[in-house]
Amino acid sequence: MEFLELQNMKIHFPIRGGIFNTIQDYVYAVDGVNMVIGTGKTYGLVGESGSGKTTIGKGIIGLEHVTGGKVLYEGVDVTNKARSRAQAYRDYNKDIQMIFQDSTSSLNPKKRIKDVIAEPMRNYFNYTKEEELNRVIELLEIVGLNENAIYRYPHEFSGGQRQRIGVARAVASDPKLIIADEPTSALDLSVQAQVLNFMQRIQKEYGLSYLFISHDLSVVKHMADDIAIMHRGRFVEQGSKEQIFNNPQHIYTKRLLSAIPKIDPLNREEHMDERRRIEAAYHEHQKDYYDENGRVYDLMKLSDDHYAALNPNISAEQLNIKGDA
Amino acid sequence: MATDNTLIEVNNLNVGFRFGDEYYNAVEDVSISLAKNEILAIVGESGCGKSTLATAIIGLHDPHNTRIEGEILYNGLDLTKLNEKLYNRLRGNDISMIFQDPLGSLNPVMTIYKQIEESLIYHTKLNDKERYDRVLELLNQVGIPKPERVMKQYPHELSGGMRQRVVIAIALANKPPVIIADEPTTALDVTIQAQILDLMKDIQEETESGIILITHDLGVVAETADRVAVMYAGQIVEEAPVDVLFTDPKHPYTRSLLNSIPNELHEDGEELHVIQGTVPSLQNLPRKGDRFRDRIPWIPDEAFDEDPILHEIAPGHKVRGNSWKYFHFEGEEME
């Protein structure tokens, strides 16, 4: 039994129009995605803006209506059950939490930090006032803020501190999975390092799992065990970190990897040539990697820890020759 | 070090903002020059004064609440002494700027054509036909497909990457010798970022202009810049050619910053380097002594100068103060 599993998950948004405002078509934001997150592991979800990566996170936690497929949590089907008060889904609500990208808008400006962090505890545990306070202080210490923060308001903190409060709040209900949606995109380098370190420390301490959503490949590489690359609502490649970074098969993955700026100024001419070559190959060989409707093919198993969405009619060897040409 | 190729020379520039009756310097003692055919990157974290420096050069600061000391020389002309009318003649013609947010820097109710044409009307005597040809040429130059169609469109109809290309086209309209790009790719996806950076490099080589690239992304710096200045708390702490800065960084701040990037050198589960403490706010900034001192408390007091100045330690490589000679990371021994 897997900890969290997505089976052919689909999230389609209707496009309405016409005289009677009927449904004309759908936006296939997430279109048939399979994913397994193991206990204590970090799953990195990478894609450009609009690829549907955030929508997957929202679908899991119940902020977006899942239109097809299943979300299984410890073997129980919890699809679209986040709003349910039934006892059967209580664990699922408590055990999955989210950290948002924008710390300013994800903390209630009228609430003190104590109340912000205590809210999940009040929902799920029967702590006395004193226990609650002690727990809040303990959580603040874990994320490196001191005790006198509890009676202050969110605006009194810097961006990095606020994001750490967001982490503390997510941890407050003793979750098993945290969905981190671009947790460090708005932060400076040195502050990003702090937040990432805290996330790793908490993971070790509590055996947490993360679904780490980001467009920054170097951060994902640092954090994740498994990675999925997303494009147009589907996975183009999925596998272990080593496979994705050292042995990418899909042209889109190659293109994404070659576009990351590298800190290697001595060889930058070569990077630029490589990047342009892959960019040209991407445009030239699109039809080999996407079907006639521009849809990404189904994932094909390449090895135990590596899947790629390749055209079933063309073998991987042929593609490689073309890609290198 | 003013040579014939120098486009802009900034000497001992202070930019102060007013709080109540006092001015606080957000940029202090900055001296830097930009040569023809060069990309100069200014890096630093938010609040270090890099954008303030840029707005001071192009004269977009609020004159009532800003105090500028020192000089900014362009062709022998001191920009800090210019009035608004003269500045307007310069802006867009001699110095132009590319902003971070392409949606915010384009007018939502004007077509793309009108927006690019605007600067041509203001600065040149071209007639309608000539202007049309120039706009078409510019759109082609920045790699916009189907320029005749895009011209008639509005900003919201274009994607983020296309909008940024339009902003670059506007900046290029009068072939300015100096372009200031303030975080030009921060709002874009990596693949688009790569395209825009390549485009900027191509254009720079073509037009031989000088570009001041302001960014917080060290990867972008490593891929594009020729020379780099690192800013911390309003001061330049290190200035070097790009390969030197990344292979042989000296100043403690530069070294700490480079060490906090997640990269191949970190083994699985290894923690990233964290710079202790936080950047002090403008009003609480220590005005004397080494500004980075509080963040490396394990370095002994005698390492810090009373008044650290930027000095050259090798040709083209400048470092502020002497604390770098004593610096080592916490828990490590001195090399």
Query: Is B269 close to A200, i.e. CB distance below 8 A?
Result: yes
Query: Is B247 close to A266, i.e. CB distance below 8 A?
Result: yes
Strand partners, A303: A306
Of A49, A194, A258, the CB nearest to B274: A194
Question: Does residue A321 register a pLDDT over 60?
Answer: no
Average pLDDT over residues B66-88: 91
Of A194, A263, A268, the CB nearest to B261: A263
In the numeric block, the tokens 């000539």 are attached to B130
Q: Touching check for B51 and chain A: CB below 8 Å?
A: no
Percentage of residues of chain A with pLDDT beyond 90? 41
Q: What is the rounded average pLDDT for all residues in chain B? A: 89
Q: Touching check for B230 and chain A: CB below 8 Å?
A: no
Question: Does residue B1 register a pLDDT over 60?
Answer: no
**Sign, CA torsion A81/A85/A88/A90:** positive
Question: Does residue A264 register a pLDDT over 90?
Answer: no
**Residue in A41, A101, A188, A225 to test binding to B, most B beta-carbons within 10 Å:** A188
Q: Given pLDDT bands bounded at 50, 70 and 90, which one contains residue B195?
A: confident
In the 3-class helix/strand/coil scheme, how is chain B assigned residue by residue?
CCCCCEEEEEEEEEEEEEECCEEEEEEEEEEEEEECCCEEEEECCCCCCHHHHHHHHHCCCCCCCEEEEEEEEECCEEHHHCCHHHHHHHECCCEEEECCCCCCCCCCCCCHHHHHHHHHHHHCCCCHHHHHHHHHHHHHHCCCCCHHHHHCCCHHHCCHHHHHHHHHHHHHCCCCCEEEEECCCCCCCHHHHHHHHHHHHHHHHHHCCEEEEEECCHHHHHHHCCEEEEEECCEEEEEEEHHHHHHCCCCHHHHHHHHCCCCCCCCCCCCCCCCCCCCCCHHHCCCCCCCCHHHCCCCCHHHCCCCCCEEEEECCEEEECCHHHCCCCCCCCCC
**Hey, which residues 242-281 in chain B have their CB within 8 Å of chain A?**
242-243, 246-247, 256-258, 260-263, 266, 269, 271-275, 278
Query: Is A190 close to B218, i.e. CB distance below 8 A?
Result: no
Domain contains A149: no
Quick one: residue B333, left, alpha or beta (phi over 0 = left, psi -120 to 50 = alpha)?
A: beta
Q: Touching check for B198 and chain A: CB below 8 Å?
A: yes
The pLDDT value given to residue B264: 65
Measure in Å the smallest separation between the Cα of B91 and chain A Cα atoms.
31
Kindly identify which residue of chain A lies nearest to residue B225, measuring between CA atoms. A265
Strand partners, A12: A28
Kindly identify which residue of chain B lies nearest to residue A48, measuring between CA atoms. B189
Kindly list the residues from chain A whose CB atom is less than 8 angstroms away from the CB atom of residue B194. 258-259, 261, 275, 279
- For chain A, how many structural domains are there in total? 1
- For chain B, how many structural domains are there in total? 1
Percentage of residues of chain A with pLDDT beyond 70? 96
Summarised one tens digit per residue, pLDDT across range A65-82 is 999 999 998 888 888 888
Kindly report the number of other CB atoms within 10 A of residue A116's CB atom.
Answer: 22
Domain contains A76: no
Summarised one tens digit per residue, pLDDT across range A145-193 is 888 888 999 998 888 888 889 989 998 988 999 999 988 887 888 888 8
**Residue in B159, B197, B223 to test binding to A, most A beta-carbons within 10 Å:** B223
Q: Touching check for B330 and chain A: CB below 8 Å?
A: no
Average pLDDT over residues B70-93: 91
Rounded-to-integer distance, Cα B124 and Cα B135, Å:
13
The pLDDT value given to residue B269: 62
Question: Does residue A60 register a pLDDT over 50?
Answer: yes
Q: What's the Cα-to-Cα distance from A206 to each of A210, A235, B129, rounded to whole Å?
A: 12, 30, 69
Average pLDDT over residues A241-252: 92
Average pLDDT over residues B248-258: 93
Question: Does residue A51 register a pLDDT over 80?
Answer: yes
Summarised one tens digit per residue, pLDDT across range B306-329 is 889 999 999 999 999 998 998 988
**Hey, which residues 147-166 in chain B have their CB within 8 Å of chain A?**
160
Tell me the residue range of the domain where A303 lies. Answer: 243-325
Average pLDDT over residues A213-238: 91
The pLDDT value given to residue B47: 83
- Interface pTM (ipTM) of the complex? 0.82
Query: Is A263 close to B256, i.e. CB distance below 8 A?
Result: no
Rounded-to-integer distance, Cα B208 and Cα B196, Å:
17
Of B262 and A132, which is predicted with more confidence? A132
Query: Is B45 close to A188, i.e. CB distance below 8 A?
Result: yes
Question: Residues in chain A whose beta carbon is closer than 8 A to a beta carbon of chain B?
Answer: 48-49, 158-160, 188-194, 196-197, 200-201, 204, 215, 217-219, 221-223, 255-256, 258-266, 268, 271-272, 275-276, 279
Domain contains A222: no
The pLDDT value given to residue A291: 86
Measure in Å the smallest separation between the Cα of A200 and chain B Cα atoms.
8
Q: Given pLDDT bands bounded at 50, 70 and 90, which one contains residue A317?
A: low
Measure in Å the smallest separation between the Cα of B281 and chain A Cα atoms.
11
Question: Does residue B280 register a pLDDT over 60?
Answer: yes
Rounded-to-integer distance, Cα A12 and Cα A67, Å:
6
Kindly list the residues from chain A whose CB atom is less than 8 angstroms away from the CB atom of residue B256. 190
Domain contains B109: no
Question: Does residue A305 register a pLDDT over 70?
Answer: yes
Kindly identify which residue of chain A lies nearest to residue B48, measuring between CA atoms. A188
Of B189, B197, B269, the CB nearest to A49: B189
Tell me, what CATH number does B58's domain have?
3.40.50.300
Q: In the structure encoding, which two tokens stand for residue A203, read together?
A: 């993971």
Query: Is B222 close to A265, i.e. CB distance below 8 A?
Result: yes
Q: What is the rounded average pLDDT for all residues in chain A? A: 88
Of A189, A222, A272, the CB nearest to B198: A272
Query: Is A261 close to B220, i.e. CB distance below 8 A?
Result: yes
Tell me the residue range of the domain where B299 lies. Answer: 1-94+176-335
Domain contains A280: yes
Lowest mean per-residue pLDDT among A200-204, B244-248, B283-287: B283-287
Domain contains B138: no
Q: In the structure encoding, which two tokens stand for residue A73, read together?
A: 């949590």
Percentage of residues of chain B with pLDDT beyond 70? 96
Q: Touching check for B191 and chain A: CB below 8 Å?
A: yes
CA-wise closest residue to B175 among B134, B223, B213: B134
Q: What's the Cα-to-Cα distance from A6 to each of A37, A49, A71, A302, B150, rounded to whole Å?
A: 9, 22, 5, 20, 41
Domain contains B303: yes
φ/ψ (deg, to 5) at B144 = -95, 120
Domain contains A304: yes
Domain contains A24: no
Measure in Å the smallest separation between the Cα of B142 and chain A Cα atoms.
16
The pLDDT value given to residue A325: 41
Summarised one tens digit per residue, pLDDT across range B11-31 is 999 999 998 888 999 999 999
Domain contains A220: no
Of B45, B223, B271, the CB nearest to A190: B45
Percentage of residues of chain B with pLDDT beyond 90? 53
Of A49, A258, A263, the CB nearest to B219: A263
Summarised one tens digit per residue, pLDDT across range A103-156 is 888 899 999 999 999 999 998 889 999 999 999 999 888 887 888 888 999 998
- Residue type for position A69: G
Measure in Å the smallest separation between the Cα of B256 and chain A Cα atoms.
8
